[in-house]
Amino acid sequence: MSLLRFDPSGAMNADYGITEQQLSGASDALLEARREMVEVDPVAYQSDDVPAEKQPLDARFFWLPDELLKEYEDQRAKSQLGRLFKVAGRLQDQVDAVAVLGIGGSYMGARAMMEACCDPYHNELTRAARGSKPRVYFEGNNVDNDASSALLSRLAAGGYGDTGAENEFGLVVISKSGGTMETAVAFRQFLSALEAQLGDRASDRLGQLVVPVTGRSGKLFDLAKAIGCDEIFEVPDGVGGRFSVLSPVGLAPAAVLGLDCMQLLQGAVAMNEHFKTAPFEENVVLQYVAVNHLLAQHRDKSIRVLSVWSKALESVGLWYDQLLAESNGKDGKGVTPLTTVNTRDLHSRHQQHQQGANDKVFNNLIVQSERTDPLPVGASDRNQDGLNDIAEKTLPDIMSAAIQGTNEALHTDGRPTTDILLPRIDTHVLGQLFQMLMIATVVEGRLLGVNPYGQPGVEQYKVNMNRNLGRG
C-alpha cells in the first residue's frame, strides 16, 4: 500500500514563505519531539510519575491501532474488533437505520469516515443497493429542536421497503462519561422513541438495538446496564475524545457501515512506522509540522487553511479543525484552523484569501485517483456555452487545472501553499491521514510548549450552561 505524500514546495520561498535553511534548522527540535513521543511518553504513560505539565497524558492513541490489531490476531471473536464486527453484523440484519449520538470527537471522525468512504447518497439508496448496510444519521451534537424532531420523524417512517428490518432503527451512543448535555438529552429522547416503537417487544429487543461506547463507569455505563445492552464498548483510557477516531468511538459506526476497519487501522500503523523511522527530510509528519510551524513563527500565518479538493473529504477537514483547535489553542497560542472545499469555495472565500489579510497558509488536500470513471465535458450541437473546445477534457482535468491555477494565483500574491497528496480515498489511506494529523498536532503542541491533551476552555461553557438551567 502506498503512503500519502507531502509537498512543501509552494511554501519554500524567501520572499513569502520559508527557506531551506530555516527548514533544516528546525530538524533538531522536531527530532527531539519525535523521540519524546516515541520513547518517553509510552514509559511515562505506564508509570505513576507523569510530570504535572504533561497531565493529562492521553498518548495511547499513538499505539492503539497496533494494540487493537494484535488483540484481534490473538483473540479473534473475544477481542474488541471481533465483538464490534459481530454487533455490526447483527445490526445490519435487524435494522435499516442507525442514529449515531455523540458530540465533538465522539462523532466527527465517524462522520468523516462515512462521507469519505460511502456513496455520497448512501442514505437515499435502497436497502439492496446499500448491501443491507443501514442508513446512518448523526445527532446528539447540538440542541437544535427542529433538527432533532426531523430525525425522529425520519426514523419513525422506516425504510423504503416492507421487510421487517426496514421498519426498525438502532442507536449507537458515544460518550465517555454520559454527562455531556447534548448527547445525554438526545439519548433520552431517541431511546424513548425506540422503546415506544418496539412496544411490547422492548424488553427483549432494546438491549440488542442500543450500542453504547463509553467509559468503564459513569452515567452512560450505568444506563446501558439498566437497559440490558448486550455489549458495552469501551472508550479506552488514555485516549482523549478528539484522538479517539481509531478506537471503538469511530470504529463502531464504521463497522455498522461495513467499512474495512482492519485496513483503517493498518493504514494508521503504516503511518506510525513511517513517522518513527523515516529521516527528517522524508518524514511527512515532521515536514508538515516544520513548514506550518515555521510559517506561523516567521511569517505570522495565524490561520491554517485546509483546502480540500474533494467534497468527500469536507468532514475530514472539520474533524481536523476540532483536533487542532482544542489541542493547541491554549495559553494564547496556536493557529486558527479553517476548512474550505474547492472549487466550491473559490467562489465565496477566495477573494479575501488571496488579497485580504496575508495571515494564512493553504494546505491543499488532493486526491490523485478517482473512484469512478472520469466524466468528459462532452461535445454538443448547442455550443452557446462555448465548451466544445474542451469537449474531450474530463472533470479531473478541470480539477487539476484549477488546483494548479489557484496555487499560481496565491503565489503571485505572496501566499504560501503546500500539498498533501492522497493516492486515493479508501480506508487504508484514511487511516494514514487521521494518524498523520493526530501525531502532527501533538508534535506541534510540544514545539509550542502547550499540552496538546486536555481542553480546559471547553469545560467553562458547560458550567455556565448548567447554571443557566438552574442546576448546581
Q: Does the active-site annotation cover 462? A: yes
Report how far residue 317's alpha carbon sits from residue 338's, in angstroms, rounded to the nearest whole number.
8
Report how far residue 124's alpha carbon sits from residue 465's, in angstroms, rounded to the nearest whole number.
37
Report how far residue 330's alpha carbon sits from residue 334's, in angstroms, rounded to the nearest whole number.
7
Cα–Cα distances in angstroms (integers) from residue 214 to residues 98, 141, 172, in the given order:
18, 16, 11
Q: CB-based burial of residue 331 (10 Å sphere; 0-12 exposed, 13-18 middle, 19+ buried)?
A: exposed
CB 320 within 8 A of CB 437: yes
Q: Does the active-site annotation cover 298? A: no
Task: Return the ∠ at Cα 123 (arms to 117 and 128), rounded to 5°.
Answer: 90
CB 222 within 8 A of CB 81: no
Annotated catalytic residue, options 139, 231, 326, 444: 326
Report how far residue 163's alpha carbon sits from residue 166's, in angstroms, rounded to the nearest whole number.
5
Name residue 134's amino acid: P
What is the number of other CB atoms lying within 10 angstroms of the CB of residue 282?
12
Residue in 430, 418, 432, 436 with CA at minimum distance from that of residue 307 = 418
Q: Which three cell numbers stand for residue 424?
A: 486515493
Which residue reads 527530532 in cell numbers?
Answer: 31
Q: Which three cell numbers stand for residue 211?
A: 450500542
Report how far residue 232's alpha carbon sits from residue 212's, in angstroms, rounded to the nearest whole number.
5
The pair phi, psi for residue 426, each rounded to 5°, is: -150, 180
DSSP at 232: -
Report how far residue 94's alpha carbon sits from residue 197's, in angstroms, rounded to the nearest whole number.
14
Report how far residue 238's alpha carbon sits from residue 444's, in angstroms, rounded to the nearest whole number.
19
Residue in 245, 242, 237, 243 with CA at minimum distance from that of residue 265 = 245
Q: CB-based burial of residue 369 (10 Å sphere; 0-12 exposed, 13-18 middle, 19+ buried)?
A: exposed
What size, in residues, is the chain?
A: 472
SS3 467: helix
Contacts of 99 (CB under 8 A, 6+ apart): 136, 137, 138, 139, 151, 155, 169, 170, 171, 172, 190
Report how far residue 59's alpha carbon sits from residue 224's, in angstroms, rounded to the nearest whole number.
28
The alpha carbon torsion through 195, 197, 202, 207 (nearest 10 deg) reads -60
Q: Does the active-site annotation cover 168? A: no
| Residues belonging to the active site | 326, 347, 462
